[in-house]
Structure 1
């Protein structure tokens, strides 16, 4: 089979060994795989897969099950999407059966490939770790990203108003169309957030450069969840603000969580979130697809920080991408 590998800051579609399908696992013939910022880091050698994981790229995919290991509760032919620690951009993947979800009713395989990573990330960090309650105010930095798009829709669906910071007026309009109450364009001024807060929860992939602002706009008992370091890793922290406001600062990653944790997260996602797709209250926000041969072009577009929504690479053109 073939898989996508990062090589000296670029990607190559290379021959790879076909993995065995053991007990508790399923083999998926991959139709499409979603792109994420972690892929950019792995391509550059800055974010290697966890020990024992596939050396190839990709955190999420969708396709059709073609082999079921002993004890796995799936059938050959099931249309599914999956969350992986790595290796999703391949013709085949073998994955823990508990990390597989059915394709939501009414969605194509291409759309489903854009779901697992971003919705799992948004649900984990906003609802599980930050414990968002209905009516609490949320601020999502990089609101037009894949995770941001998922977060906005989830907050709206579960009764919490959400504001965003974004890179352009067009991306702000995109977020407002998804359900954001408003926001700011970072190239103009982030200080306008002070008039929109205080916020109970902040979802932040930026990190250090937004640190002082986040501390300022958080409400008493607010939760700041850091999921990335696009804006650096160090800043001067005023602990008096943390104490005075009783703030929680939570660092979070999903990729290196253990299999049991991910299984429970996806079980909750299937119960609480997946039905909202068939109800039309959530959508994948798939903006563009690329053939796998153009994966470098897709990653370059993602790196340009102008994408509103999700990009997906198409791997198996003969696998049906139409809805059920």
Structure 2
């Protein structure tokens, strides 16, 4: 039998020492972090993997951060230490939180970031909730304020944000259109609640398809995380007074925006970023709404790939090649 791990000897973590491909990720033993004032330490059971992690590793995002660096931004696990000013009753609680450097056995974060988990919610599901769930929630409730009957076009509809955004949009009474790259992904989008799904590969363009399924009027909202390759079709798909929200650029940055092109339909273009400072009350509202929806089954996290911490390289390879659907999660313990 394998001997119990001695946590006083340091923790295992995934780090990279240089910018590069997935193979720069290394499993290393590093010093345990300690919870500071207002913080807790989480013994991580599962850590979410996000496309932004691959961009950081490639030096496209947060490039000024010092190396070596531990990746990760969301952790699910059990609180095992509290810092000064934090109620000790948090110790032993099952939680999920936005927590930097979460590709590790231990991670620290502010107590204000914690969401307590009911026993029936797995750590893997929880690790897939916050980064993509908060993004989806704010896109629909904060940036766009979707109303019943609005038509919403979601690119990358079978991705982590896409599947959650479909479910949340349907709770608001929206009509949801999605774009995907395969029939398998189309089935997942429909299962999540999408009313119509476009599969790339045919002769028809996205904008022509949108006009067809909306009777020529277009959609009130487009959520675009793809960027360069979808930008033109996103603008063309909008109805008069429609709104395009950009929140990623998986295919590269979109072209420079020509304001003159917006006048004919009085369009609005904006951007959303989860790391923008949010009012604390708004972020708490979003976090608690997502947690409640997950707990009572109104919201489901699709786990597309769950691998061990030591397989972080594989997780990045699969995510970058777009071979995954839903959420990619590292099982830590």
TM-score w.r.t. the length of structure 2 is 0.87
Structure 1 residues 1-324: aligned runs within 5 Å: 1-6=11-16, 7=18, 8-9=20-21, 10=23, 11-48=25-62, 55-72=69-86, 75-84=90-99, 86-104=100-118, 106-188=120-202, 189=204, 190=206, 191-197=208-214, 198-235=218-255, 237-255=257-275, 257-258=276-277, 261=278, 263-316=280-333
Instruction: Give the 3 Å change call, closer, same or farther, for CA 18–250 of structure 1 in structure 2.
Output: same
User: Which has the higher mean CA deviation after the structures are superposed, 230-239 or 165-174?
Assistant: 230-239
User: Which has the higher mean CA deviation after the structures are superposed, 241-250 or 304-313?
Assistant: 241-250
* CA apart distance, 1:267: 0.7
User: Which has the higher mean CA deviation after the structures are superposed, 155-164 or 173-182?
Assistant: 155-164
SS of 2:40 mapped into structure 1: strand
SS of 1:207 mapped into structure 2: coil
* CA radius of gyration, larger in: 2
Q: After superposition, give the CA deviation of every residue in 1:157-202 in whole Å (9 maximum; x if it has no partner).
A: 2221211110011111110011000121122232312323411111
Q: After superposition, give the CA deviation of every residue in 1:4-37 in whole Å (9 maximum; x if it has no partner).
A: 1234323111223322312211110000111111
Aligned position for 1:322:
none
Instruction: Give the 3 Å change call, closer, same or farther, for CA 58–115 of structure 1 in structure 2.
Output: same
Unaligned runs of 5+ in 2: 1-10
Unaligned runs of 5+ in 1: 317-324
Given that residues 54 and 87 in structure 1 are in contact (C-alpha distance below 8 angstroms), is that contact kept between their aligned partners in structure 2?
no
Instruction: Give the 3 Å change call, closer, same or farther, for CA 269–136 of structure 1 in structure 2.
Output: same
Structure 1 CA distance for aligned equivalents of residues 69 and 273 of structure 2: 19
Given that residues 74 and 130 in structure 2 are in contact (C-alpha distance below 8 angstroms), is that contact kept between their aligned partners in structure 1?
yes
Structure 1 CA distance for aligned equivalents of residues 279 and 95 of structure 2: 16
Aligned position for 2:4:
none
Q: How many residues align?
A: 312
* CA apart distance, 1:279: 2.4
